[in-house]
Amino acid sequence: MPTHSGELRDLLYRDTIAALSSAPGKGAIAVVRLSGAETEKIVRKIFRPKDPEGDFENRKFRVGRFVGADGGAFDEGMAVMFFGPGSYTGENMAELYCHGGPGIVRALLVAASEAGARPAGPGEFTKRAFLAGKIDLLQCESVADLVSAETRRAAQAALSHLDSGLSKTLESIWEKIVEAGAHLEAAIDFPDEFEPGAGPAVQGKPMDEKELARRFMEVRDALEGLEKTYNSGRILREGARMAILGRSNAGKSTLLNRLLGEERAIMSPTPGTTRDTVEEVCDIGGIPVRLIDTAGIRETGDPVELEGTKRARRAAAGSDICLVVVDAAAGPEEVRWANAELGELDCLAIMVANKMDLPHAKAPGRSKFSGKAACVCPVSALTGEGIENLRETMASTLIGNEGDEFGGNQLFLARERHRDLVVRCKKAIERGAEGLNNTTSPELVAVDLNEAQRALSELLGRDYGQALLDKIFSTFCIGK
Ligand SMILES: Nc1nc2c(ncn2[C@@H]2O[C@H](COP(=O)(O)OP(=O)(O)OP(=O)(O)O)[C@@H](O)[C@H]2O)c(=O)[nH]1
Ligand SMILES: [Mg+2]
């Protein structure tokens, strides 16, 4: 991986940074991190080891006391050195473990600062790792995603990016584009040989226009496969919104409480109980889902209820999927009502046939909602029957199996930046393939291929500007 020398040199020789890496506030233990050329010198000034005869060894803890500029000790803890270039940032680094009181942390940061460190900016440790060529830009982004993952599954998706899953897939696409570029270049340099079956020998068999166009389409399909994973990736990273809609008294609030496992919303036999929307995040099959309980929809002259109904529709419009709750004991008219009243929402829906514990309850068979097929989940929000199946249906409807396409690695595009660049690359490849099929001059096809390469390059962080770095790292925690 290339190092990014200019900026790196500045960073390496100018300053050593320090920051609290654990969460701020009171805790049992806090971790302060340092990185930069002066790290060891600073640690020796602010940490007095219990075994003064010993010395720092790479990645080995030492017990001792933290001291301020006046030489007074203020805490007991541990220090560990990570010597470059094998460290996270590639520079000399240290982690100091102190007791997690805000007073101690402040004193330790002041001591580090007085000894020559400056406070780190957001994500500056990871930025240094990037500039030192230790990790690529996609991996940097996955570090931030890992830190902010709300569920185990979201963390797994981020981890697969950190393990270079996405980088490797993109690298293999890059290589195919470079190979196609070499053949195209040869066609430009030796135009007479750009005939079917002829052409100069470029890395193995020569390629004619047809073969090149076929290769272009292969690349295009791979990019499209990646693009398709975006919605699922976004949902895993940012969470999904799911409004619970239905007629008054269908059991929406009871369902919300059942899914949350706590009595969050008020439930009652009186229709019109829920007036305003009630939101809560829960883990559905590893996906962070914001459930929004809404006011029941019914004809009413009550202005508060009318406003509640408006808010319910607004919540539905901003949702990834809606749960349409119907009272299964109220007859088939309930489903017709749901379609008539909510059909204009035009959103993906799961139909929840509630109150299945009642003697006359009957769940509708396959259902359509807003003209689209909708899964029907028979449940009893009261007893919990069918809730596990509903959870599974919610998870599979939200994420599907797109992530499995890449060798079962659960690879997802999780950021808009990634999706946009994949689409830009795909479009350029499509234009190139079209050019080849229409026997456009190879020079023009080469322009498209260059554009595809530029997009991939930007995605992999080989080609980046300060603005992009600032944007990415500004979302990081300080200390990461
Ligand atoms: N038997 C049975 N009763 C249920 C079930 N779910 C909800 N109920 C009852 O139906 C009534 C209405 O429940 P809520 O959860 O308040 O209904 P809602 O859809 O939120 O109603 P609004 O907020 O008024 O729109 C309450 O008396 C619940 O106990 C169920 O699965 N089985
Ligand atoms: Mg309610």
**In this predicted model, what pLDDT tens digit does every residue of 278-326 receive, in sequence order?**
889 999 988 899 999 998 877 777 777 778 778 877 888 889 889 999 9
* Token couple for 267: 């439930």
> Between the CA of residue 238 and those of 149, 284, 292, what are the distances in Å?
8, 14, 16
Phi, psi of 267 (to 5 degrees): -120, 145
- Any ligand 1 atom below 6 A from CB of 248: yes
Flag whether the pTM goes above 0.85.
Answer: no
Report the separation in Å between the CA atom of 312 and the middle of ligand 1, taken as the mean of its atom positions: 17
Q: Which architecture characterizes domain 5-134 according to CATH?
A: 2-Layer Sandwich (3.30)
Backbone angles phi, psi at 272, to 5 degrees: 85, 25
Q: How far is the CA of 354 from the centre of ligand 1 (A)?
A: 9
Q: Report d(CA 313, CA 9) in Å as an integer.
A: 56
What mean pLDDT comes out for the span 186-205? 54
Where in the chain do CATH 3.40.50.300 domains reside?
237-403
| C-alpha 247 to ligand 1 mean position (Å) | 10
Q: What is the mean pLDDT of the chain?
A: 86
| pLDDT band with cut points at 50, 70 and 90 for residue 11 | low
Could you name the CATH architecture of 237-403? 3-Layer(aba) Sandwich (3.40)
CB burial class (10 A; 0-12, 13-18, 19+) of residue 314?
Answer: middle
Q: Indicate which residue's Cα is closest to atom 1 of ligand 1.
A: 355
Domain 165-229+409-461 of CATH type 1.10.357.10: no
Q: Which of 267, 297, 334, 357 to mutate to test the pocket of ligand 1 (most atoms within 8 A of CB)?
A: 267
Q: Is 371 left (phi over 0), alpha (psi -120 to 50) or beta?
A: left
Give 286 Cα–ligand 1 centroid separation in angstroms. 27
Q: Whose CA is closest to atom 6 on ligand 1? A: 251
- Please tell me if the CB atom of residue 271 comes closer than 6 angstroms to any atom of ligand 1: yes
d(CA 223, CA 178): 15
Beta strands in 338-397 (DSSP E): 349-354, 367-369, 372-378
| Ion ligand 2: residues, CB < 5 A | 252-253, 273-274
Residue owning the nearest CA to atom 12 of ligand 1: 249
pLDDT at 197: 44
Taking residues 184-191, what's their average pLDDT? Answer: 70
Does residue 91 or residue 408 have the better pLDDT? 91
Highest-confidence range of 18-27, 197-206, 292-301, 433-442, by mean pLDDT?
Answer: 18-27
For residue 251, the CA-to-ligand 2 centroid distance in Å is 7
CATH 1.20.120.430 placement within the chain: 165-229+409-461
Cα 361 to averaged position of ligand 1 atoms, centre (Å): 14
Question: Which ligand ends up closest to the CA of 254?
Answer: 1
Highest mean pLDDT among 5-19, 177-191, 249-263, 391-405: 249-263
Please give the Cα distance from 371 to 348 (Å, whole number): 10
Ligand nearest to the CA of 278: 2
Residues ≥6 apart with Cβ < 8 Å to 249: 269, 271, 296, 327
Q: Is the CB of 438 under 6 A from ligand 1?
A: no
How many A from CA of 243 to the centre of ligand 1?
A: 16
**φ, ψ dihedrals at 93, nearest 5°:** -135, 160
| Token code pair at residue 390 | 């509903």
Q: What is the mean pLDDT of residues 176-180?
A: 89
Of 333, 315, 323, give the one whose Cα is nearest residue 374.
323
Q: Where in the chain is the domain with CATH 3.30.1360.120?
A: 5-134
User: Is 165 or 219 the better-scoring residue by pLDDT?
Assistant: 219
Neighbours of 349 (CB within 10 A): 29
Q: What percent of the chain has pLDDT over 70?
A: 89
CA distance 66 to 45: 9
- The response to whether residue 394 sits with its C-beta less than 6 Å from ligand 1 reads no
Would the CB of 329 count as within 6 Å of ligand 1?
no
